[in-house]
Amino acid sequence: MDDQENDDDLFRCAICGVAEGDNTNLTSQTNLQTNATVRCGHMFCNSCIDRELSRRREFPCPICNTPVKKVTLSTRSLDDVQCEKDTSWRRRVMKVFNKIESDFPNLLEYNNYLEEVEDIIFSIVNEEANAEECKTKIKAYEEAHRSAIVIRQSQRADEERAIQDRIASEQREAERRKREWKEEEAAIAKTKRKFKQESAEVLLGEREEVSAELKAAQMQGYRNELKRQRQGKSSVTNFVSPRVREPDGGMKREKKLDRDLYLKRQAAGGGMKAGDLASQERNWNEAVSTLFE
């Protein structure tokens, strides 16, 4: 319960206790500003700020006695100000202390180097007692190692440029594959519509049969057929029958079938004598029936 009350106090004016967005004044809505310094971060309403700064250039925070100036007041929260400050100083420090792991004989020394850089950034951002000393150390290091710093900066720029080029190349390749996929899908849809159209024309008797290319596309899959056509191969494949194993005695020519043997085979199928009228009538009925199937 006490923690919740303390959190609520953080979003109230440190002088009069009014909350953010309070409209009890009926003339204007209350807006709070933050004293964006490391050791304070408390908020003040515009009325209290105008009253206090109209009499003096700065006034002490009633909670932590940190000086409150007009230049330190901001509509943003302390976390936002600190984050922006950390980002700005980190960029400046890392531009000077820009060594990489390959510049050290072992990993331990590289980690100690990174830890030292982080200590410098922390001291400056949080306004520690040695903040000015750290700023002086940065300037001195930059003057002593200017040429090496410039060389590493150029190498880093080349690496970033190569990464950007690789990313751009991958994006172009992805766009090319996406464009080819769309063209392939459009070609497949067009081929399917054409196949349906020709099939309908065959059923209506407007043409004898569907074209060989469309038949092959349907049999082999439209996508595979399109790939085959792009490679310049013929869409109509020649069917090769499988080889038949020869008998033990070798391939022998079939004996010539004479008329008597033919009639015997024909009669044997229906169980009737060769030359019988019933046999001839059966053959005639089967021949006539095939015409109307």
What confidence score (pLDDT) does residue 255 get?
Answer: 59
- The mean pLDDT of 24-53, rounded to a whole number, is 76
- The mean pLDDT of 243-268, rounded to a whole number, is 62
pLDDT at residue 244 greater than cutoff 60: no
The answer to whether the CB of 32 falls within 8 A of the CB of 68 is no
The torsion angles phi and psi of 45, rounded to 5 degrees, stand at -80, 160
What confidence score (pLDDT) does residue 63 get?
Answer: 86
Range from 77-81, 118-122, 154-158 carrying the lowest mean pLDDT: 77-81
CA dihedral 283, 287, 292, 293 (to 10 degrees): 80
Q: Provide the mean pLDDT of the chain.
A: 77
Rounded distance, CA 126 to CA 140, Å?
21
Burial class of 154 by CB neighbour count within 10 A (0 to 12, 13 to 18, 19+)? exposed
| pTM over the 0.85 mark | no
Residues 240-255: b if buried by 16+ CB within 10 A, e if exposed? eeeeeeeeeeeeeeee
The answer to whether the CB of 267 falls within 8 A of the CB of 276 is yes
- The mean pLDDT of 90-115, rounded to a whole number, is 90
Rounded distance, CA 249 to CA 245, Å?
12
Higher pLDDT, residue 35 or 175: 175
Rounded distance, CA 214 to CA 211, Å?
6
CA dist 51 → 21, 140, 287 (Å): 19, 45, 118
Rounded distance, CA 226 to CA 21, Å?
67
What confidence score (pLDDT) does residue 5 get?
Answer: 47
Rounded distance, CA 168 to CA 162, Å?
10
What confidence score (pLDDT) does residue 263 get?
Answer: 66
Using the structure block, give the residue that is written with the tokens 């109307």: 292
Rounded distance, CA 84 to CA 86, Å?
5
Burial class of 220 by CB neighbour count within 10 A (0 to 12, 13 to 18, 19+)? middle
pLDDT at residue 137 greater than cutoff 70: yes
Using the structure block, give the residue that is written with the tokens 């319960």: 1
- 167 contacts: CB under 8 Å, gap ≥ 6: none
What confidence score (pLDDT) does residue 236 get?
Answer: 46
What confidence score (pLDDT) does residue 233 get?
Answer: 55
Rounded distance, CA 37 to CA 82, Å?
9
The answer to whether the CB of 66 falls within 8 A of the CB of 39 is yes
pLDDT at residue 202 greater than cutoff 90: no
What confidence score (pLDDT) does residue 229 get?
Answer: 63
The answer to whether the CB of 14 falls within 8 A of the CB of 47 is no
pLDDT at residue 101 greater than cutoff 70: yes
What confidence score (pLDDT) does residue 220 get?
Answer: 66
The answer to whether the CB of 22 falls within 8 A of the CB of 16 is no
Rounded distance, CA 63 to CA 10, Å?
11
Read off the pLDDT band of 291 (50, 70, 90): low
**Structure tokens given for 125:** 């951002």
Rounded distance, CA 219 to CA 207, Å?
20
Provide the β-strand partners of residue 35.
73
What confidence score (pLDDT) does residue 156 get?
Answer: 87
Pairing, β 73-74 against β 32-35: antiparallel
**Structure tokens given for 108:** 């331990």
pLDDT at residue 243 greater than cutoff 80: no
